[in-house]
Amino acid sequence: MNTLKKYLHPILIFVIFEAVAITLWLTKHNLFYLFNFSYIGISIALGIFLYIRKYKHARRVVQLLVGLYMLVYLGFIKGENMQIEGFWYYLFTGVFEAATIHYAVAKIFGPLIFGRGWCGYACWTAMVLDFLPYKVPQKPRKKLGWIRYITFAASLIFVAALFLAKVGNIERIMFWAFLIGNLVYYGVGIALAFAFRDNRAFCKYICPITVFLKPMSYFSLFRVRCDKEKCVSCGKCKRVCPMNVDVTDNSRKRENGTECILCMECVKNCPKDAL
């Protein structure tokens, strides 16, 4: 019974993803969804299992399992544009498939349950950025978050323009947009990480997907909470947080609360087990 309680979270995650996998498989009559969401669910559940077993690199294992699968298999081999342009493309074509479903599950409705878990465990951009040397920001946060709205609008305008101009073979363009877009993301992300001495600078200022992720994760069911009885206000949790979240504040309005990527660095480092 105790073992079941200890591993309740990975079991729950597995069950949620399996429910999505089976529902989509049966409703869309496509075996791919069963494989896709089962694979992602098993990867995440494995990561949480490893975390509970105190394996240091548990999160990185999930990032690599899910991130590489999406980038290499879905993106390069299957030719799906899983970037935001791909989402707009499928939305305009009215097809509830691939990128639209991916966005609905991982980035629009999923965050109501697991917040920005996508950013901590699955994103293939952050998968690379997290290997850079500035795991903890070395400089104060800048007020540059407004840039994300420009990149968000630019992606929408780009795809809308292709449709309005009636450009032929948009699907092919989407494939190239995925390749080039990823190269640009990696280039800008790495340059910003070194310029701001912060691996996650791209996430904080540029990434257009945060326009979906931030408001939805405000309501997230899974959150790191602080036990005020145990907390001695040492400030270590904030010092190790890659996203500058004030996790000692339990309110939804905590400083940078919608930036939390559930990486658990604060939990691992709290000397009083208050988180």
| Percent of residues in the chain assigned helix, strand, coil, to nearest 5 | 65, 0, 35
Q: Which residues contact 227 (CB under 8 A, 6 or more apart)?
A: 274, 275
User: In 3D, which of 104, 69, 92, 126 has the Cα closest to residue 259?
Assistant: 126
Minimum Å gap between C-beta 3 and ligand SF4 is 25
* Euclidean distance between CA atoms 61 and 41, whole angstroms: 13
From 261, 273, 213, select the one nearest 237 (Cα to Cα).
Answer: 273
- Give Cβ neighbours of residue 53 (< 8 Å, ≥ 6 apart): none
Tell which one of 81, 151, 210, 220 touches ligand SF4 (CB under 6 A): 210
**Beta carbons within 10 angstroms of residue 258's beta carbon:** 21
Give strand ranges (E) for the chain: none
User: Is 270 a binder of ligand SF4 (CB under 6 A)?
Assistant: yes
Among 125, 155, 182, 217, binds ligand SF4 (CB under 6 A): 125
Task: Number of residues interacting with ligand SF4: please give it, by CB under 6 A.
Answer: 35
Residue in 42, 108, 156, 264 binding ligand SF4, rule: CB under 6 A: 264
- 65 lines the binding site for ligand SF4 (CB under 6 A): no
> What mask, x for binding ligand SF4 by CB under 6 A, covers residues 180 to 209?
----------------------xx---x-x
Q: Which is nearer to ligand SF4, 34 or 177 (CB)?
A: 177
**Exactly one of 105, 119, 159, 174 binds ligand SF4 (CB under 6 A); which one?**
119
x-or-dash pattern for ligand SF4, window 233-252, by CB under 6 A? Answer: xxxxx---xxx-x-xx----
CA-closest candidate to residue 225, choices 253, 207, 248: 248
Binder of ligand SF4 out of 13, 74, 101, 226 (CB under 6 A): 226
Residues at the contact surface with ligand SF4, assessed by CB under 6 A? 119, 123, 125-126, 202-203, 207, 209-210, 224, 226, 231-237, 241-243, 245, 247-248, 260-266, 270, 272, 274-275
